Amino acid sequence: MDFINKVGSTIARKAKEAAGISSLNSQISTQEDIINKLCLEIGKTVYEKRQLFPDTALDEKYTAVSNAYAEIDRLKSEIISVKGAKQCPNCGIEVALAASFCPSCGTAVPTPEPGPFVENIEIPPERIIYYHQEDTMK
């Protein structure tokens, strides 16, 4: 009976120990999340104020971030174009094709001239299929 009590007590102690470790690991994870979030904010602040932090070690990263922002702008413009809408030249938001002014900043938004349905697509000569119209020419 003593042996069974001793084993039971050891199992209970091990379970309590495991729960304690799990709780501590969870608290470490919470602190790591706080660090990651704050470091991200610090990084964004440093990027935004990069003129105040001239650091040649960071120049390459500053440029990469700027390029990524430019690519996001280009992709957003492409989405607006695919949707058949137009973009405010001032604030960049999507504006309905029929609107004359940006609903957000009030800037005049010119309606683009209707372009050709297919524009500047170069078809390699080997992909061009010629149809002989002899039958319809009769």
Q: Which residues bind Zn ion (CB under 5 A)?
A: 88, 90-91, 102, 104-105, 107
User: Which lies closer to Zn ion via its Cβ, residue 8 or residue 103?
Assistant: 103
User: Which lies closer to Zn ion via its Cβ, residue 58 or residue 93?
Assistant: 93
Q: Closest separation between CB of residue 70 and Zn ion, Å?
A: 19
The alpha carbon of 18 is separated from its chain's Cα centroid by a whole number of angstroms, namely 40
User: Which lies closer to Zn ion via its Cβ, residue 22 or residue 90?
Assistant: 90
Q: Looking up tokens 């992709």, which residue turns up? A: 75
**b vs e for 99-122, b when ≥16 Cβ sit within 10 Å of the residue's Cβ?**
eeebeeeeeebeeeeeeeeeeeee
Q: Closest separation between CB of residue 106 and Zn ion, Å?
A: 7
C-alpha separations of 51 from 45, 46, 71 in Å:
11, 9, 22
Q: Closest separation between CB of residue 109 and Zn ion, Å?
A: 7
Q: Closest separation between CB of residue 112 and Zn ion, Å?
A: 16
Identify the sign of the CA torsion 52, 58, 60, 64. Answer: negative
- Helix (H) / strand (E) containing 17: helix 2-48
User: Which lies closer to Zn ion via its Cβ, residue 25 or residue 81?
Assistant: 81
